[in-house]
Amino acid sequence: MSRPLFAFSTAILGVALCASAVAQLPDASASIAGHSVYELEGGEIVAADGQGTYVYDTWDEYLRSSFFFRHGMRCGFDRLVHPPEIAFLGSQSDCTNSGSFPNPVYDPSGGSATVYDIPVAFHVLYSTSGAGNIPDARIYEQIDILNQDFAALTNSRIQFHLATEDPQGNPTSGITRTRNRSYYNDRGDYASAVGWDTNRYLNIYSNTAGGNLGYAYVPNGGGVVGSSFDGVRLLWNSIGNTNYVPYNLGRTGTHEVGHYLGLFHTFDGGCGTSNCNTSGDFCCDTNPESSPNYSACSPSERSTCGSPDPVRNYMDYSEDACMDSFSLEQAYRMRCTLENWRVDLTTWEGGGTGGTVPDQVSGPSPANGASGVAQNASLGWSAASGATQYDVYFGTSTNPALVSANQTSTSFGPGALAASTTYYWRVDSENTQGTTTGSLWSFTTAADTGGGTIFFDGFESGSLSGWSTSSNVRVGTTASTGAFSAELRRTSSMSRTINVGSATSVDVSWDWRTSGFDGGENIQVILSGGSGGPVTVSSTATAFTTASRTLTGVSGTIGIEFRTNANRNNERGYVDNVQVQ
């Protein structure tokens, strides 16, 4: 449970936090626009401004705080100190920092328009405690989200891929990892230390982003392209599909890359003037807006300048689920930026050649809508023309989670499936020109007839649906298999009741581990419903192990409850692959 928040001076803060914690606070010179955000080693978030200092137990709590909204931390672009305007790449008058002048040459429509394919170098900057060390799967999801969003409604024909060649010409995954607490807290010249050539790569840095959800520099005034600081910063919690509602769908990345490609906020300049190409966001097909929208969309969307506000546009501050598109003139401006300002970004490593993306995957097995599917079924599909690899999404929700990225085979084994359960899946096909999103398929498994799997949850749906949880339980990305697990922080619990039908004896198994626990702290499971009474099992293992117990004399239902008894945010238990047979 989050503790109450108070505004207090640094002197008073010393009463609540140890002296070493106070010493970790950033000095005033490191703050932007008079405020500062910093994560302590124990995971607490300390935010300070002229009104006081505030402590938040978790990033989720901070992202819902009045401090976050008061300082407009959805995006830090407006508070960056921009370099002087230095035009150095030739004529760029069609898209400057003082206006946009749409030219049909930038029109993305039609099959002959150039496809710009941008190589991404993704730099994970994580703390000495391990915080922020996101898995590759989250990065793959973010690249997929960028490709989907830049092709949504208005197809900009701008695509992204993780770089396959580093600045020295060596093969690469496009992902680097650096363990450094200052870099993690968005301090120090990490861009010079770990960044790649900013003329040739879109550098995305994953860290705390200075307490913002993200920030990036607009290049269209000069002085940005080729500098070491050029690139995008993203709060690590907001990358890919996460449980950090309402910023859980990767739209922060889309928003910041929009800045990187020359776009301004839809509310910049307020209601503007009569010339929409030289005021506001310089795009005449985005209605003017007097202030950012922080909320979800609603049937009666707001109007602050006499016309409906563009709250669904990726360049507003709306919640992720509300955003769905760029406008056509925004696509013009981004393509103009690539043509005139970021001229070297897509002219190597196969970028910008106007090639063809792969066909959509077809031929699902099990067939779409199939029922009575075996609980040990594997997924299969027909190879898509032009595809070199595939991303597989699978789970029990209609927005399935990424479970396998960049695989070359046309099959995937999801593991043991639960009886009488509907699963959803899709396969995206990829090549160097981009990604083609697959159709959403589904199938339903057969009812249990005895002796098979009665229940299974590997948390690959990205949710804890069906579990009763305390406030410190969430979906985690430290998993035994797949992409997700259940994460129990501090003292917390999760439980559920499972119908075992006519079975009188069942085997219960699970994978679990701990992280950072002190003496006397452990993770426990309590199994109830057997004739011998509740069975309790404990563990302090720091690597995933599989445990199991048999319950006899059961009748109708059993109960499963996992508990932890830790006392700090960075002390966590993980549970995965809970199965009843």
Strands 491-501 and 556-565, sheet pairing: antiparallel
Instruction: Annotate 438-465 with b (16+ C-beta within 10 A) or e (fewer).
Output: beebbbbbbebeeebbbbbbbbbbbbbe
The CATH superfamily of 362-444 is Immunoglobulins (2.60.40.10)
SS3 491: strand
Give the model's pLDDT for residue 275: 85
What is the spatial distance between Cα 198 and Cα 231, in angstroms, rounded to a whole number?
Answer: 7
Q: Residue 521 corresponds to which tokens in the numbers above?
A: 């702290």
Catalytic residue among 256, 289, 329, 487: 256
Extents of the domains making up the chain: 36-71, 111-263+341-347, 362-444, 455-580
CB-side neighbour CA atoms (13 Å) of 366: 24
- For residues 181 and 127, the answer to whether their CB atoms sit within 8 Å is yes
Q: Residue 22 corresponds to which tokens in the numbers above?
A: 């106070």
Residue 426 DSSP code: E
CA-to-CA dists, residue 509 to 108, 527, 537, angstroms: 53, 11, 11
Whether the link from the prior residue into 308 is cis, omega within 30° of 0, is no
What is the spatial distance between Cα 481 and Cα 362, in angstroms, rounded to a whole number?
Answer: 27
What is the spatial distance between Cα 54 and Cα 67, in angstroms, rounded to a whole number?
Answer: 8
Residue 256 known to be catalytic: yes
- Residue among 536, 154, 88 at smallest CA distance from 343: 88
What is the spatial distance between Cα 356 and Cα 224, in angstroms, rounded to a whole number?
Answer: 31
Measure the CA dihedral 62/66/71/72, to 10°: 80
Provide DSSP, 371-390.
EEE-TT--EEEEPPTT-SEE
Q: What is the amino acid identity at position 106?
A: Y
What is the spatial distance between Cα 155 and Cα 100, in angstroms, rounded to a whole number?
Answer: 19
- Residue among 572, 554, 570, 553 at smallest CA distance from 562: 572
Residue 269 CB partners (closer than 8 Å, separation 6+) = 279, 280, 281, 288
Residue 196 DSSP code: -
Q: Which CATH architecture has domain 111-263+341-347?
A: 3-Layer(aba) Sandwich (3.40)
- Residue among 554, 277, 241 at smallest CA distance from 398: 241
Which residue carries 């690469």 as its tokens?
172
Q: What is the amino acid identity at position 294?
A: Y
- For residues 142 and 160, the answer to whether their CB atoms sit within 8 Å is no
SS3 19: helix
Q: What are the pLDDT tens digits along the chain (581 aa)? A: 333 333 332 222 222 232 222 223 333 223 344 678 988 878 889 888 888 888 898 888 898 888 998 888 888 876 665 443 333 322 467 888 888 887 888 888 765 577 889 999 999 999 998 999 999 999 999 999 999 899 887 888 899 999 988 998 888 999 999 999 999 999 999 999 999 999 999 999 999 999 999 999 888 877 788 899 999 999 999 999 888 889 999 999 999 999 999 999 999 988 877 788 888 889 999 999 999 998 877 646 789 998 999 999 999 999 998 999 999 999 999 999 998 889 888 765 544 444 567 888 998 999 999 998 887 788 999 888 888 889 999 999 888 888 888 888 888 888 778 888 999 999 999 887 778 888 999 999 888 655 678 888 888 777 788 899 988 898 887 888 877 889 998 899 999 999 888 889 999 999 999 998 988 999 999 999 999 899 999 999 999 999 999 999 999 899 999 999 998 877 899 999 999 98
Q: Hey, how many other C-beta atoms are within 10 angstroms of the C-beta on 231?
A: 24
Give the residues across from 428 on adjacent strands.
391
Measure the CA dihedral 229/232/235/240, to 10°: -150
C-alpha angle with apex 243: 459 to 254, nearest 5 degrees? Answer: 120
Residue 35 DSSP code: B
What is the spatial distance between Cα 209 and Cα 27, in angstroms, rounded to a whole number?
Answer: 17
- Residue among 240, 224, 281 at smallest CA distance from 87: 224
What is the spatial distance between Cα 147 and Cα 395, in angstroms, rounded to a whole number?
Answer: 21
SS3 577: strand
Give the residues across from 235 on adjacent strands.
207
Provide DSSP, 333-375.
HHHHHHHHTSTTTTSSTTTTS---PPPPPEEEESPTTEEEE-T
Instruction: Annotate 305-339 with b (16+ C-beta within 10 A) or e (fewer).
Output: beeebbbbbbbbbbbbebbeebbbbbbbbbbbbbb
Q: Which CATH number fits domain 455-580: 3.30.70.330, 3.40.190.10, 2.60.120.260, 3.40.50.1260?
A: 2.60.120.260
